[in-house]
């Protein structure tokens, strides 16, 4: 069994042997978690191998690609669910690579805005196209109608979860 396959089995083994129809919520959560883990690991591997980038760098660049005027570092932290300290490190690394530029609007040194450079825009566009292709490849064995149905159904799960949050979402 491949390493990636064993990761899925390990997560779902918790409910192995449960009676049919029992522990449905737990089984679904573990299935979603293990699928996300598999896909994230593969995307991380491909980003590293093809672009020398990490998934957090890709996510940060994706946010900046959508906001041509740039974003404050605090806003980047919220949008990527990365701590402020880690966002600073990511931006510094991307700036060293010539992909991001940090500016202080109106000379206010308390405010730092990150923007993609022209090179960053071009590289991210290539990364995004590859990412989209990878997702298509990873889901190639799934019928489009199944994907559409899952999208709708997982939306219902997400809505239910949102309805029952304790108020500390994304802390």
64 has pLDDT over 60: yes
Q: What is the mean pLDDT of the chain?
A: 88
Average pLDDT score over residue span 18-23: 70
Average pLDDT score over residue span 100-120: 90
Pairwise CA distance, residues 171 & 159, whole Å: 19
Cβ atoms within 10 Å of 160's Cβ, excluding its own:
10
Pairwise CA distance, residues 46 & 38, whole Å: 13
Give the pLDDT confidence of 21-54 residue by residue, as tens digits: 778 898 899 889 999 999 999 999 999 999 999 9
Residues contacting residue 81 through CB under 8 Å, at least 6 positions apart:
170
**Cα–Cα–Cα angle for 20, 21, 27, nearest 5°?**
95
Residues contacting residue 60 through CB under 8 Å, at least 6 positions apart:
76, 80, 82, 87, 90, 91, 94, 114
Residues contacting residue 7 through CB under 8 Å, at least 6 positions apart:
34, 37, 38, 41
């Amino acid at each position: 069994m491949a390493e990636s396959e064993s990761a899925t089995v390990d997560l779902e083994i918790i409910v192995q042997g449960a009676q049919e129809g029992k522990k449905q919520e737990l089984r679904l959560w573990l299935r979603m978690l293990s699928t996300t883990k598999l896909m994230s690991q593969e995307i991380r591997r491909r980003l590293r191998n093809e672009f020398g980038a990490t998934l957090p760098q890709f996510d940060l660049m994706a946010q900046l690609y959508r906001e041509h005027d740039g974003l404050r570092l605090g806003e980047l932290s919220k949008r990527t669910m990365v701590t402020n300290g880690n966002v600073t490190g990511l931006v510094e690394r991307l700036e060293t690579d010539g992909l991001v530029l940090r500016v202080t609007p109106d000379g206010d040194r308390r405010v730092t805005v990150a923007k993609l450079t022209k090179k960053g825009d071009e590289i991210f566009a290539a990364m995004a196209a590859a990412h989209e292709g990878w997702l298509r490849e990873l889901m190639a064995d799934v019928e489009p109608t199944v994907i559409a149905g899952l999208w709708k159904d997982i939306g219902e799960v997400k809505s239910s979860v949102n309805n029952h949050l304790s108020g500390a979402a994304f802390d």
